[in-house]
Amino acid sequence: MLLSRLRQSRFGLPVIYAMLLCLLGQVLRLVIWLEFARQTPMSGGEAVQLVLTGLHVDVVTALAVTTPLAIWCALRKRPWEGTRARRVLFVMACAAWSVQVFLFITEYYFFEEFLSRFNTVAIDYLIYPTEVTTNLWESYPLGRLVVAAVAMGSLLAWVGFRWSPPRAKGGERLGKRWGRAMVWLAVVACGVLTVNQSRLRVSRERIVNEVAVNGAVSGAIAELSRNLPYDAFYATLEVGAAVKRARLALTSPGVEFVHPEAPAVPGGGKTDEEWLDAVRRSLVRRVPGDAAKPRLNVCIILEESLGSEFWGCLGAKNRAGEPISMTRRMDKLATGEGLLFENLWADGNRTIRGFEGVFSSFPPLPGDAILARDRTENVETIARVLKRDGYRTLFLYGGRGTFDFIKSYTGQNGWDGLIEQDDFVNPAHTTAWGVSDEDLLGRGIEEMRALHGKGEPFLVSFMTVSNHRPYTFPEGRIKDAPNPSDRRPAVRYADWALGDFFKKAKKEAFWKDTIFVVVADHGARVYGSQQIPLTSYRIPMVVLGPAAVPGARRVDTLGCQLDVTPTILGLIGRPYESLFFGSDLLAEGRPRRVLMHHNRSVGIYRDERLAVFGLNSTVTYYRGDARTGLLETMSEPDGVALEMAEEGKSLFQVADLLYMNRRYRLDP
């Protein structure tokens, strides 16, 4: 009787479709288990949890997916009136089911490739549809799979119509129809709220947990958190060995570890949480300095896309191979009175990679930078270090703070305030990205003047936006007119704005007490055929100011953006404690290496060797000079390359361990 009433009800078709989705989800889970996970150790209790968790997420997903159909059925006065309406609905059901079946097929092959349900890798595939479609076409019988998905989808759509034919009565009052819709939405909302990420872990074995969930839930969690489980996809060491090896890699002359080594694995009465705390403590270092030294002000200007390819002092050349310079003002400052770091490399090719490298001295993990992830509410930054030493801190950004999560990152991690686009009154020029560099840097001088007047040391950080398409800026600043499609005038304008800033700053009282740092967030474009195109990652860093730079000097020490903050703190010369992964480029005997990221690969470079860690735990070795870009694949890596790869594995693995467990911070 109940079944008959359900078939005749408005929700008959959505319910049968939800039941079919649950059935297919369970079948897929069984197939994945038999094919890829049946050898994985699992207790009886874990097996029960797997089944119940799988059924739970499948039911919630099925109800959520069928919600549009359920709401349509609930709100339509006469949902099945007319042959044409029924035919349109059937065609739409066929299309929806075909897509769903194709996703089930795709999920199987994705699990075969990565031993995982959908994650950020799958989401990123949507960004590159041409490349992905070509790869799928060459790797799988894509045509036959599509035909099979359409055939199966059409069959399932027909089964639903056959079981619950569209003949429900209409004419109900609007209020009653809305009541039905609200009941369905309430049930779905309650179901979604019960899908807690922590409750989806049914085992210590990662593959068992992957089998327990489904692609829709794991994909949604990945999109919301932007996390990618490092140890599931990349080459790693045993976790205890990784922590010990990372501690060795972070060892520097004169820098002492505050706490002893962590136990190799959780044990001795310790819980996982206690062990993770021990790991965090074991990596805290005390960097020596003179506490009597003055607290010098710090000004960091992170420049949009101002890579080394534009700087004459770094050997920029045109297409004909002739020396050129688009940064004549900064060339003059860098070579005439500054510290010019000429062997520095970006950690990625996006602004937020520059943020995490420069300001947090944190390795670029695969996937998204930590600014875009969900566990960045309390991470180490130069702002945190200086605030512990009594500094006032301020960030100025030419655009809107919501872009790239800049407002949440700076607001939660040590900066006292953020000045963004909406805080500028009558700027000289704006684009879609924000106010011009001269507006931003001019406002910065005003803010530093005010902070200096209060007698407090300060950190003022900038992020510029003018050197970004469309390449427009205030007219009359340089000889070249703005050209929305040509970057070169914008680069010259960025250089002009920096020159104008320093011309004005030298007249200010804070000039003699401030360390000024200009560093690029990344290069202008990525070029090169390597997994990580090293040449395009080379960037400039210039340090200016009489307080820290007595005379012009070139520094050829190999380094990356992780080393910027430790180098600045070294120039200040006061003691501090740190979890930073970088080192002072001016200190003797400190580690010299580059950690970098490109797409889904991460790598480590030093001693003219490059080890690239890719998906499926692959490691590829190269040898050559990063500045020339002439790197050759090493079919037989030598001892230096192998040792470097072990170092890289430990650093990336431990960085992921600290971040994912919210322990990349100095304080508890």
Q: Tell whether 309 and 429 lie within a shared domain.
A: yes
Same domain, 449 and 530: yes
User: Residue 165 — very low, low, confident or very high, per pLDDT cuts 50/70/90?
Assistant: low
CB count within 10 Å of CB 456 equals 12
Q: Say if residues 222 and 118 touch (Cβ distance below 8 Å).
A: yes
Alpha helices (H) in 300-405, listed in sequence order: 328-337, 351-358, 382-388
**481 CB-contact burial (10 Å; exposed 0-12 / middle 13-18 / buried 19+):** exposed
Q: In this predicted structure, what is the pLDDT of residue 464?
A: 97
pTM, rounded to two decimals: 0.82
Residue 79: pLDDT band (50, 70, 90) is low
Backbone angles phi, psi at 226, to 5 degrees: 60, 25
Last residue of a domain, one of 225, 251, 275: 225
Return the percentage of the chain with pLDDT > 90, whole number. 63
**What confidence score (pLDDT) does residue 591 get?**
93
Please identify, among 552, 585, 618, the residue that sits at the C-terminal boundary of a domain: 585
Please choose, from the candidates 667, 662, 663, 668, the residue with its C-alpha nearest in 3D space to the C-alpha of residue 280: 663
CA distance 157 to 97: 7
Q: Are 103 and 228 in contact (CB under 8 A)?
A: no
Inside any domain, residue 146: yes
495 is a domain residue: yes
pLDDT band at 2 (very low <50, low <70, confident <90, very high): low
* Whether residue 41 has a cis bond before it, omega within 30° of 0: no
Q: How far apart are CA 91 and CA 200, in angstroms?
A: 36
Locate 503 and state its tokens.
């011309």
What are the phi and psi torsion angles at 54 (to 5°)? -60, -45
Range of the domain at 53: 2-225
Looking at per-residue pLDDT, the higher value among 436 and 265 belongs to 436
Asked if residue 545 belongs to a domain, the reply is yes
Let me know whether 345 and 492 are in one domain: yes
Closest residue by Cα to residue 365 from 596, 591, 565: 596
635: CB partners within 8 A, 6+ apart = none
**CA 429/CA 471 separation, integer angstroms:** 12
- Mark whether 328 and 425 lie in a shared domain: yes
pLDDT tens-place string over residues 366-393: 988 999 999 999 999 999 999 999 999 9
Q: At 335, list the tokens.
A: 């070579």
Contacts for 7 with CB less than 8 Å, ≥ 6 apart: 163, 164, 165
Are 410 and 490 found together in one domain? Answer: yes
pLDDT computed for residue 449 by the predictor:
98
Report the mean per-residue pLDDT for the chain. Answer: 89
With residue 554 as reference, give the H or E element that holds it: strand 553-555
What is the model's pLDDT at position 130? 56
Q: Residue 624 domain-assigned?
A: no
Identity at 54, one-letter amino acid code: G
Contacts of 516 (CB under 8 A, 6+ apart): 299, 301, 502, 505, 543, 544, 545
Between 117 and 419, residue with greater pLDDT: 419
Q: Which of 169-178, 308-317, 508-517 has the highest mean pLDDT?
A: 508-517
The answer to whether residues 57 and 199 belong to one domain is yes
Q: How confident is the model at residue 124 (pLDDT cuts 50, 70, 90)?
A: low
| Interacting residues of 157 by C-beta distance below 8 A, sequence separation 6+ | 90, 93, 94, 96, 97
> 491-511 in b/e burial notation, b at 16+ Cβ within 10 A?
bbbbbbbbbbbbeebeeeebb
Closest to 123 measured CA to CA, from 214, 229, 219:
219
Determine the Cα–Cα distance for residues 349 and 291; give it in Å rounded to an integer: 37
Three-state secondary structure call for residue 521: coil
Q: In whole angstroms, give the CA distance from residue 326 to residue 141.
A: 51
CB 650 within 8 A of CB 238: no
Residue 285 β-bridge partners: 257, 578
Split into its structural domains, the chain has a count of 2
Amino acid at 474: P
Task: Report the amino acid identity of residue 151.
Answer: A
pLDDT score for 129? 59
pLDDT band at 126 (very low <50, low <70, confident <90, very high): low
Residues with Cβ < 8 Å from 213, sequence gap 6 or more? 53, 54, 57, 117, 200
Q: Are both 221 and 330 inside the same structural domain? A: no
What is the mean predicted confidence (pLDDT) over 624-632? Answer: 87
Classify residue 259: in a domain, yes or no. no
C-alpha 380 chain-centroid distance? 16
Q: Is the dihedral of CA 598, 604, 610, 612 positive or negative?
A: negative
Residue ending a domain, choose from 562, 585, 608: 585
What per-residue confidence (pLDDT) applies to 119? 78
Q: How far is CA 293 from the centre of its chain?
A: 37
Residue 165 lies in a domain: yes
Query: For the ranges 14-18, 316-320, 343-347, 568-572, which has the lowest average pLDDT?
Result: 316-320
Q: Is residue 463 part of a domain?
A: yes
Q: Are residues 427 and 566 in the same domain?
A: yes
Helices 215-225 & 83-114 angle (0-180, nearest 10): 70
The predicted structure's pLDDT at residue 200: 80
Would you call 143 helix, strand, or coil by DSSP? helix
pLDDT at residue 222 above 80? no
For residue 160, what pLDDT is reported? Answer: 86
Task: Print the SS3 string covering 259-311.
Answer: CCCCCCCCCCCCCHHHHHHHHHHHCCEEECCCCCCCCCEEEEEEECCCCHHHC
Phi-psi domain of 295 (left: phi exceeds 0; alpha: psi -120 through 50; beta: other): beta
The tens digit of pLDDT for each residue in 390-441 reads 999 999 999 999 998 999 999 999 999 999 999 999 999 998 899 999 999 9
In one letter, which amino acid is 8? Q
pLDDT at 15: 87
Q: How confident is the model at residue 181 (pLDDT cuts 50, 70, 90)?
A: confident
User: For residue 56, is it within any domain?
Assistant: yes
The enclosing domain of 546 has a CATH number of 3.40.720.10
Report residue 245's pLDDT band, with 50, 70 and 90 as the boundaries: very high
Q: How many helices (H) and strands (E) does the chain have?
A: 22, 19
CA 623 → CA 347, 448, 557, 603, 637, distances in Å? 19, 46, 19, 13, 9
| Domain identity same for 573 and 459 | yes
**Which two three-digit tokens encode residue 107?**
């999920």
Structure letter (DSSP) for residue 36? I
pLDDT interval class at 170 (50, 70, 90): low
pLDDT of residue 138: 61
In a shared domain, residues 182 and 301: no
pLDDT, average across residues 524-539: 78
> Do 35 and 139 have their domain in common?
yes
Same domain, 532 and 430: yes
